[in-house]
Structure 1
Amino acid sequence: MRRMMGTILALMLLALPAAYAVQPDEIMSDPVKESRARDLSRELRCMVCQNQSIDDSDAPLARDLRLLVRERIAAGDSNSQVLDFLVARYGEFVLLRPRFERQTMLLWLLAPVLLIGGGLALWLQIRRRARSGADLPAPLTPEEKARLAALMSDEPKSS
């Protein structure tokens, strides 16, 4: 019981910063629009924190961006129009997951290419080792064979 309470407390403490990032005065009265605003703000990077979405950040710039998203939604913009507006204003860096375009192709493709290349190199190395027989011990010399035969032919002495 004590362990479970500790786990619940730890989870609540982890969720605490995200719970207080969006201030009550920012929340829209229409729950559908507020849900859209929250979804969009989870996709946008805080330019101050850089590893948090603006939905999770308490930075003043993140607050300004959350308010700007809500203003654009209240003005009737679609989700893509809001994102396009913010990208035009702040650049592609404002998106937590950049779009797949010519400029970001290297960002999207480098990890899979490196993973496939590493797997291929490992596979080739394993094949090369299996073919060369490097893991096999060298055959016994005639002297070693004779000594082994002598050791095996000796009967244990009884004391």
Structure 2
Amino acid sequence: MEIQVVSGDITGQQVDAVVNAANSGMRGGGGVDGAIHAAGGPAILADCIRRFPDGLPTGQAGWTTAGRLPARWVIHVVGPIYGRGDRSQLASCYANALAVADEVGAESVAFPLVSAGAYGWPVDDAAQVAVDTLRASRSQVKRCLLVGYSPRTTTALRAALARH
């Protein structure tokens, strides 16, 4: 699997699936979640309500339509809140997102830096977990984009990728 780091807006990435850092309620929110719902339109929320009436637990993943996004699917993951969750839950977000990508047949996936925003996970550690998990995963996905939403996250992701 090819792993690349790009800087920018995850909602505009030309990939089969975009990963959403969602909250457990799966009803939209702020940050990446808000941006994906805003860009993709109401079809994403409607699909979340239909497919996940009780939301998702931390570390788990599930897919919905991508609405108006250029991607075909949104893979929603629920990251841990720093201080309340652990690294294994964060790693599960990436591993489970790849499993869902395999389930739907996605060959290219764009990931945000899960839990490193409002959930407070230290950026450098979150970046290392992302890279390590993607590298260790067995998946049919051919291309993963790690999308840095700020210069700080992009730098951390590039540094984590360079360590291998």
Name the TM-score class by shorter chain. Answer: under 0.3
More helix by proportion, 1 or 2? 1
TM-score (norm 2): 0.21
TM-score (norm 1): 0.22
